[in-house]
Chain A
Amino acid sequence: MIGRVLLLSVALCALASGSRAQTANTCLDCHGALDPPLQVTEAQFAQDIHAQKGLTCASCHGGDPTKADMGAMSKAAGFRGKIERSQIPALCGRCHSDATLMKQYNPGLRTDQFSQYETSVHGKLLAKGDSKVAVCIDCHGVHDLRPPSDPRSKVYPVNVAATCARCHADAAYMKPYGIPTNQFAEYQTSVHHAAMTVRGDLSAPTCTTCHGNHGAAPPGVDSVKNVCANCHVFQAQMYEKSPHKEAFQSAGLPGCVVCHSNHGIAHPTDAKLGTGQQGVCVQCHTTGDDGDRGRANILAGLTKLDESIKSADRLLNVAETSGMEVSEARLQQDQARDSLTKARVTIHTIEPQLVDQDIQAGLKITAKDLQAGKDALSERGYRRKGLGIAVIFILITLMGLFLYIRQIEGRREAEVHEL
């Protein structure tokens, strides 16, 4: 009996080892147990988009993953071992540049990443032998590489800036390149970062929106406007026709960046037109010149419209909290606000007359709304006076009724007494 059990156990073990030899990726059996950096666990690799599409370690590293011993890593089996950093873009490009192959996995995926990379600052420096620059795995990760649409991916829109900052905010790492390392800190204060992280707008600009991703490079001075124009269409069209365009070009100034800065773009306020610390016009224009006079006129107009909108809002608020119906004026106020926004956009033409047209349109609306608010408050006063008069009449009538009741009941009691 014991002999039979032993025989059965041996047979089961043989079956188990046989089935083990059939698994497609035996690399993880050992590498899952190793210490970093050689460690790659099954759980980690299962997250990788390549693993999910059926690729194995051998797809990149070569070798024979069906062998359960060191034969898996033999030269004869084509084992390549650790991929040199300088070889990584080309290795990834082997598949990712093959349109026919990529169509089988994701027909919508571009196949120009490698050629773009070669035009990037990273790619050019790598070609020169600088292996410190970013290669595919630095941004996308390795062994647990997720698609960019996965919020855990390092290249998911919200994570892009932090991924770039891993190198670009590291002063010691970037020292040999002599470029600033405050871009990420500045970007975190920007209106673009707020749109991305606070408003959750994934289409808001991050590093790659302006610099490109695989072909990452700083936009040239002349192309800054084109980059911003991708989103800020009207402003770019106006700037194109403005005297600033030629002036900035001849001075070698980078268009939009002159007034708005680059990484730390704050929400623009009218103070930019002022003479205070935030003022940008006065950085080039001197007091009393044409530009300065135009600046002062535009600022005065904008301030007037802004104040006018605020005072109409205040008045309409008071009327509304008193229960007055002012919804029509409220709707008009939105149009006045639109005029103010339009005027602020028209500033990019640097034509005070054009800006003034929008300001006057807004002021016309706010004048009507202010009047609507005043009318509502005067109507409120009229109603309250009416109420006061009505209450007096009601009280007089009540008093009259009371006296009449007393009179008829007094008379009746007198009659009863007489009887």
Chain B
Amino acid sequence: MQLVKHIHDWIDERFGWAKLTEPLRHKTVPIHKLSYWYFLGGITLFLFGIQLCTGILLLLYYRPSANEAFESVQYIMTRVQFGWLIRSIHSWAANLMIFTAFMHMFSVLFLRAYRKPRELTWVSGMILLFLVLGFGFSGYLLPWNTLAFFATKVGTQITGQVPVVGHTMMVLLRGGEEVTGATLTRFFGIHVAILPGLTAFLILVHLALVQRFGMSLPPGVEANLSVNPSAVREMKFLPNFLLREVMAWYIALGVLGALAALSPWGLGTKADPFGSAPAGIRPEWYFMFMFQTLKFIPSKILHIDGELLGILAFGLAGLIWILLPFLEGPREKRGGTLIRGAGVFALCYIVAMTIYGYFAK
């Protein structure tokens, strides 16, 4: 313990550590019946950390070319010591991270934590959610297996439907007119350089905003406290809340380990660009609701391409979702009810369409 104190003092003397961490020591977290929702952001952050670590380890063996990508992942899975564990954890953690990011977004929405002055925290969080989806989309292609190849082909083709800029975006994503080795190299660059850079920056902004404004109180709890201020219960962020958060991280780690050991992430068969698409091709679960919706839309609606309308509708919905805090308006109660209703609808729609997508033939 003496050694730790010496190291702490050494750092403090040079960098002013105590001063730097001062705000954290004063930070408190409200205690109420919905406090456990506060853990979701931390768990998502923890899973992002896992992705960074396992991703760096995978980089030691992965080769981003159409000729070597599949074989290098196969090598990682079969020959590299604990390679199977690292790759499986990377794939499972990616899915869990997207799940917890969605949960975090909906919890913030239903607890109305996006309200003034936290509008920009919501906006940065929403952009982070889209970046996480971008991680999923770009990372899915990297093993260069049949499913990933054709899912990417369909996914980038949908991008090509966007009016005016669609074709340019598709060519930019694919590195040409078709999904080829150039697409793989491009997706690799996006996955390991562009997206992590943007995400790291936005996470810092997001955390700084959370630190600046503190934890939000749900409107019901806030109303109770305004009547009875003595009922305020808080815990210190350091160490009380952080220790609880660490417990949640440990549980997440256990779940990840169990998934990796009991159900290692499969590899499939190597992509053959000249082969035919396998039957029942579909995207990963987090894109399923959009995919299923596009399948439901008729080919023409009032002489306009149905798929194009679907893409525009999703684009508009995404934009509205980012701007939700600004749409609540001055009549907070009415606006809040409307947003909560939209949230319930979106959640039910996503869940229903995802389930339907998996069971529909």
Q: Which of B162-192 contact A (CB under 8 A)?
A: none
Stretch at the interface among B93-101, B260-268, B331-339: B260-268
Proximity string of chain B (270-294) to chain A, C-beta cutoff 8 Å, 1 when within and 0 when not: 0000000000000000000000000
Q: Which of B217-275 contact A (CB under 8 A)?
A: 239-240, 243-244, 246-247, 250-251, 253-254, 257-258, 261-267, 269
Task: Report whether A383 and B261 are in contact in the complex, using a CB–CB cutoff of 8 Å.
Answer: yes
Residue of B nearest to A323 (CB): B264
Task: Report whether B247 and A386 are in contact in the complex, using a CB–CB cutoff of 8 Å.
Answer: no
Q: Is the interface of A mostly helix, strand, loop or mixed?
A: helix
The smallest beta-carbon distance between B90 and chain A, in angstroms, is 15
Residues of A within 8 A of B254 (CB): 390-391, 394
Residues of A within 8 A of B84 (CB): 325, 383
Task: Report whether B262 and A323 are in contact in the complex, using a CB–CB cutoff of 8 Å.
Answer: yes
Known A384-B262, A390-B254; judge A328-B240 contact (CB<8 A).
no
Proximity string of chain A (225-265) to chain B, C-beta cutoff 8 Å, 1 when within and 0 when not: 00000000000000000000000000000000000000000
Task: Report whether B250 and A408 are in contact in the complex, using a CB–CB cutoff of 8 Å.
Answer: no
The smallest beta-carbon distance between B132 and chain A, in angstroms, is 25
Task: Report whether B261 and A401 are in contact in the complex, using a CB–CB cutoff of 8 Å.
Answer: no
CA distance A193 to B258 in the complex (A): 52
Known A383-B261, A387-B261, A387-B262; judge A397-B250 contact (CB<8 A).
yes
CA distance A327 to B77 in the complex (A): 11
With an 8 A cutoff between CB atoms, is B78 at the interface?
A: yes
Task: Report whether A398 and B247 are in contact in the complex, using a CB–CB cutoff of 8 Å.
Answer: yes
Proximity string of chain A (379-399) to chain B, C-beta cutoff 8 Å, 1 when within and 0 when not: 000011011001100100110
Size category of the binding interface on chain B: 20 to 34
Residues of A within 8 A of B265 (CB): 323
The smallest beta-carbon distance between A202 and chain B, in angstroms, is 22
Residues of B within 8 A of A387 (CB): 257-258, 261-262
Task: Report whether A394 and B74 are in contact in the complex, using a CB–CB cutoff of 8 Å.
Answer: no
Of listed A391, A405, A409, residue having the most chain B CB within 10 A: A405
Task: Report whether A401 and B267 are in contact in the complex, using a CB–CB cutoff of 8 Å.
Answer: no
Task: Report whether A325 and B261 are in contact in the complex, using a CB–CB cutoff of 8 Å.
Answer: no
With an 8 A cutoff between CB atoms, is A404 at the interface?
A: yes
Q: Which of B53-111 contact A (CB under 8 A)?
A: 74, 77-78, 84-85
Task: Report whether B258 and A398 are in contact in the complex, using a CB–CB cutoff of 8 Å.
Answer: no
With an 8 A cutoff between CB atoms, is A402 at the interface?
A: yes
CA distance A402 to B262 in the complex (A): 27
Task: Report whether A325 and B267 are in contact in the complex, using a CB–CB cutoff of 8 Å.
Answer: yes
With an 8 A cutoff between CB atoms, is A281 at the interface?
A: no
CA distance A325 to B268 in the complex (A): 10
The smallest beta-carbon distance between B86 and chain A, in angstroms, is 13
The smallest beta-carbon distance between B191 and chain A, in angstroms, is 22
CA distance A106 to B257 in the complex (A): 71
Task: Report whether A391 and B240 are in contact in the complex, using a CB–CB cutoff of 8 Å.
Answer: no
Q: Is the interface of B mostly helix, strand, loop or mixed?
A: helix
Residues of B within 8 A of A401 (CB): 243, 246-247, 250
* Count of chain A residues near B, Cβ 8 A: 20
Other-chain residue from B74, B244, B257, B263 in contact with A325 (beta carbon distance below 8 A) = B74
CA distance A358 to B240 in the complex (A): 71
Task: Report whether A398 and B251 are in contact in the complex, using a CB–CB cutoff of 8 Å.
Answer: yes
Residues of A within 8 A of B258 (CB): 387, 391
The smallest beta-carbon distance between B273 and chain A, in angstroms, is 20
Other-chain residue from A323, A328, A405, A408 in contact with B263 (beta carbon distance below 8 A) = A323
Task: Report whether A325 and B78 are in contact in the complex, using a CB–CB cutoff of 8 Å.
Answer: yes
With an 8 A cutoff between CB atoms, is A164 at the interface?
A: no
Task: Report whether A394 and B253 are in contact in the complex, using a CB–CB cutoff of 8 Å.
Answer: yes
CA distance A390 to B258 in the complex (A): 9
Of listed B77, B240, B247, B265, residue having the most chain A CB within 10 A: B247
Residues of A within 8 A of B263 (CB): 323
Task: Report whether A386 and B261 are in contact in the complex, using a CB–CB cutoff of 8 Å.
Answer: yes
Task: Report whether B266 and A323 are in contact in the complex, using a CB–CB cutoff of 8 Å.
Answer: yes
With an 8 A cutoff between CB atoms, is A361 at the interface?
A: no
The smallest beta-carbon distance between A234 and chain B, in angstroms, is 30
Of listed A324, A325, A383, A408, residue having the most chain B CB within 10 A: A325
Residues of A within 8 A of B269 (CB): 327
Of listed A327, A391, A408, residue having the most chain B CB within 10 A: A327
Task: Report whether A384 and B261 are in contact in the complex, using a CB–CB cutoff of 8 Å.
Answer: yes
Residues of B within 8 A of A383 (CB): 84-85, 261
CA distance A397 to B249 in the complex (A): 11
Task: Report whether A405 and B240 are in contact in the complex, using a CB–CB cutoff of 8 Å.
Answer: yes
CA distance A398 to B267 in the complex (A): 33
Other-chain residue from B78, B239, B246, B266 in contact with A328 (beta carbon distance below 8 A) = B78
Residue of B nearest to A394 (CB): B254
Residues of B within 8 A of A391 (CB): 254, 257-258
CA distance A263 to B77 in the complex (A): 52
Q: Which of A68-112 contact B (CB under 8 A)?
A: none
CA distance A325 to B84 in the complex (A): 9
CA distance A340 to B239 in the complex (A): 68
Proximity string of chain B (335-347) to chain A, C-beta cutoff 8 Å, 1 when within and 0 when not: 0000000000000
Task: Report whether A408 and B239 are in contact in the complex, using a CB–CB cutoff of 8 Å.
Answer: yes
CA distance A405 to B246 in the complex (A): 11
Task: Report whether B250 and A324 are in contact in the complex, using a CB–CB cutoff of 8 Å.
Answer: no
CA distance A324 to B240 in the complex (A): 41
CA distance A384 to B261 in the complex (A): 6
CA distance A401 to B245 in the complex (A): 10
Residues of B within 8 A of A390 (CB): 254, 257
Residue of A nearest to B261 (CB): A387
CA distance A318 to B143 in the complex (A): 24
The smallest beta-carbon distance between B201 and chain A, in angstroms, is 31
CA distance A387 to B264 in the complex (A): 12
Proximity string of chain A (209-230) to chain B, C-beta cutoff 8 Å, 1 when within and 0 when not: 0000000000000000000000
Q: A residues engaging B (CB < 8 A)?
A: 323-325, 327-328, 383-384, 386-387, 390-391, 394, 397-398, 401-402, 404-405, 408-409
Top 4 closest pairs, chain A to chain B, by CB: A387-B261, A323-B264, A325-B77, A383-B261
A-B contact pairs, 8 of them (CB 8 A): A323-B265, A327-B74, A328-B78, A384-B262, A394-B250, A394-B251, A402-B247, A409-B240
Extra inter-chain contacts (11) besides given A325-B78, A401-B246, CB under 8 Å: A325-B84, A328-B74, A383-B84, A383-B261, A387-B258, A394-B251, A401-B247, A401-B250, A404-B243, A405-B244, A409-B240
